[in-house]
Amino acid sequence: MFQAIVFLPLVGFLIAGLFGRMLGARASELITTGLLFASAFFSWIVFFQVAFGGHDGTVVLFTWMASGDLHVNWAIRVDTLTAVMLILVTTVSSLVHLYSMGYMHEDPSRPRFFAYLSLFTFAMLMLVTSDNLVQLFFGWEGVGLASYLLIGFWYDKPSACAAAMKAFIVNRVGDFGFALGIFAVYLMTGSVAFEQVFAAAPTLMDKNILFLGHEWHAPTVICLLLFIGAMGKSAQLGLHTWLPDAMEGPTPVSALIHAATMVTAGVFMVARLSPLFELSTTALNVVMFVGASTAFFAATVGCVQNDIKRVIAYSTCSQLGYMFTALGAGAYSVGVFHLLTHGFFKALLFLGAGSVIHAMHHEQDMRHMGGLWRKIPFTYVTMLIGGLALTGFPFTAGYFSKDAIIETAFMSHSPISTYAFTLTVGAALLTSFYTWRQMFMTFHGKPHDHHHYEHAHESPLTMLIPLGVLSLGALFAGMILYPYFVGHDVDHFFRESIFMASDNKILEEIHHIPAWAKWSPTVMMALGFVVAYWMYVANPSVPKAIAKQNDVGYRFLLNKWYFDELYDFLFVRPTLWIGKFLWKQGDVRVIDGYGPNGVSARVIDVTNRVVRLQTGYLYHYAFVMLVGVAALITWFMFGGAH
């Protein structure tokens, strides 16, 4: 069953990718979608067997690498953490496949699209079931490749190609650090298999490693290098710039990347390697600092975006920051809890946005929408549910998981706990504001584009069914799973899949948080709604007036804190200058410049003269050989003997 879960999407990819044109678009859709639903069905069976039945296991498929002391198996590791990721990845992916059958029905390249979707899912499943760091890196790079293919799916669109390249390159920066971290783990423990690495982890506590010419605390260096990889894959502050541009791909791709697959890989990796991160408080403090900063930064930018998908994209970036804040506090299960609930309500929001875009004939600017709740009521209700969960409305999924993260930030013993708590509470206010701003601009008020509004219609059933299913997860997942991720059943539920040191009592301490701190995110949620209602329903002229009065601040947020411009100045322009210099001075001036017609022309002339020696006559060659033998004998007679 484990093998079927992982390899059924690969079978779908091969069938649709190799034989899609022969089978046709409809057959490719049905085959890939059917295989994904089968994988999701098996994943839920495994989840209940493993999480509640205790049937953990590892299936060794074959020996992948064996060189000296390095032995790497291709194996499927299934424990509670893996089982949680399996149901998230396969459930969301199967629903995205079903949704895409309606959303992409006019695209002539549907077999290729569904093949890429299945490849993406297979790579993520390989990542979450990996038994060692090398196999994890294989899945890690696999989702990077699949994201490149899917973001740039419409390759005749220059902006899509540029966004795909940007995602690929930025992730390579993070992956370089991740690879160095894997090398460091092998150097210090002699293994890349999780069991051996975790067994050797306590011995690293007092060890140093030589890095950049200095001796450093080994666990700290290892964890920080691994976290650099997580920053790229999960779009944390500094390596986040690719995530909003990924919206250039089809909307189902956005839902898959942002909810269940690529961006969650970094969070999963840190949780999986919790035995290593528990050895370094410095690394955990860095994780918390970056996570809280990302949560606040992305929320500020989301408040001024006008593209409906970009608002949700920055929301994803912000929510990932929340997850890393929990991981940095040592509350690994809480971070994974929010990863799971976020997967449901964020996929719901993206697919709901896709339904809006479908109704508005591919219009994505919210300023051209308005009043759509009358035209697409089902989509409106489902997006309302997703928005409530995102803002942390009481008893929705986000209320249980996001509020628990804020509580861990407050109760953490980290020196930056106050910083993290302040920024995450501030981000909760901003999250509520931009979520309700999106809802009001899209579904309420007067229509701004009457032509599109009059022709707007509800999406087909293949698009609405996934919205309904995800709505259930956005409403009830937090309520049902809270005891197992945050409550008193955490140790039994996760067993050995997540490690917390004996002095890590954060999950006990958050149940003793002061009332004012516990209810602060709920207060911020309500305040954000009030402000958004005032600005976009009660008095719609206020936003323009505020933007005009604070032009510098508005442009600062609208230009995403100028990160792209900064990177363009620091990296892109110098690289282009170096390339242009080598072209002008090296190629044009040196290679083509010297001599009557350049060095290359002289080389050709010499070559032509040498070719003339090849006459084709045997006696000419025999004569040259005789001269050579005579010269060789002469050299040995008069000089070679000495």
pLDDT in tens, 431-456: 999 999 999 999 988 887 777 787 78
User: How large is the average pLDDT for residues 320-340?
Assistant: 94
- Which candidate, 554, 464, 513, places its Cα nearest to that of 95? 464
Confidence of residue 108 (pLDDT cuts 50, 70, 90): confident
Taking the model in full, what pTM does it have? 0.88
Residue 601 resides in a domain: yes
* Size of the chain in residues: 642
Bridge partners of 72?
A: 65
Per-residue confidence (pLDDT) for residue 607, from 0 to 100: 77
Instruction: Looking at the structure, tell me whether residues 518 and 565 fall in a common domain.
Output: no
Per-residue confidence (pLDDT) for residue 582, from 0 to 100: 87
Residue 414 resides in a domain: yes
- Asked if residues 233 and 266 have their Cβ atoms less than 8 Å apart, the reply is yes
Confidence of residue 599 (pLDDT cuts 50, 70, 90): low
Instruction: Looking at the structure, tell me whether residues 370 and 450 fall in a common domain.
Output: yes
User: How large is the average pLDDT for residues 564-580?
Assistant: 91
Per-residue confidence (pLDDT) for residue 593, from 0 to 100: 67
Per-residue confidence (pLDDT) for residue 597, from 0 to 100: 57
Question: Residue 594 pLDDT > 70, yes or no?
Answer: no
Instruction: Looking at the structure, tell me whether residues 547 and 564 fall in a common domain.
Output: no
Structure tokens, 308: 């409906």
A 10 A CB-CB count for 503 gives 8
- Which candidate, 135, 162, 140, 139, places its Cα nearest to that of 151? 162
- Asked if residues 296 and 427 have their Cβ atoms less than 8 Å apart, the reply is yes
Percent of the chain with pLDDT over 70: 97
Instruction: Looking at the structure, tell me whether residues 456 and 466 fall in a common domain.
Output: yes
Q: For 127-172, what is each residue's pLDDT tens digit?
A: 999 999 999 999 999 999 999 999 999 888 899 999 999 999 999 9
Rounded-to-5 percentages of helix, strand, coil across the chain: 75, 5, 20
Where do runs of H (alpha helix) occur along 48-157? 80-103, 110-128, 133-151
Instruction: Looking at the structure, tell me whether residues 485 and 565 fall in a common domain.
Output: no
Per-residue confidence (pLDDT) for residue 635, from 0 to 100: 81
Q: How far apart are CA 592 and CA 602, in angstroms?
A: 10
CA-derived radius of gyration, the chain: 29
Residue 9 resides in a domain: no
What average pLDDT is seen over the chain? 90
Residue 244 resides in a domain: no
Structure tokens, 472: 């259930």
Residue 243 resides in a domain: no
Per-residue confidence (pLDDT) for residue 33, from 0 to 100: 94
Structure tokens, 98: 């079903």
Domain that holds residue 628: 595-642
Instruction: Looking at the structure, tell me whether residues 461 and 314 fall in a common domain.
Output: yes
Bridge partners of 214?
A: 211
Of 538, 557, 576, the residue that ends a domain is 557
- Which candidate, 333, 339, 84, places its Cα nearest to that of 234? 339
Percent of the chain with pLDDT over 90: 62
Question: Residue 511 pLDDT > 70, yes or no?
Answer: yes
Q: For 170-222, what is each residue's pLDDT tens digit?
A: 999 999 999 999 999 999 998 999 999 999 999 999 899 988 888 899 999 99
Instruction: Looking at the structure, tell me whether residues 528 and 612 fall in a common domain.
Output: no
Residue 634 resides in a domain: yes
Residue 402 resides in a domain: yes
Q: How far apart are CA 59 and CA 539, in angstroms?
A: 61
Instruction: Looking at the structure, tell me whether residues 467 and 576 fall in a common domain.
Output: no
- Asked if residues 330 and 278 have their Cβ atoms less than 8 Å apart, the reply is yes
Instruction: Looking at the structure, tell me whether residues 323 and 375 fall in a common domain.
Output: yes
DSSP 365: B
Provide the domain count of the chain: 3
DSSP 319: H
Instruction: Looking at the structure, tell me whether residues 521 and 540 fall in a common domain.
Output: yes
Instruction: Looking at the structure, tell me whether residues 297 and 417 fall in a common domain.
Output: yes
Residue 285 resides in a domain: yes
Instruction: Looking at the structure, tell me whether residues 449 and 351 fall in a common domain.
Output: yes
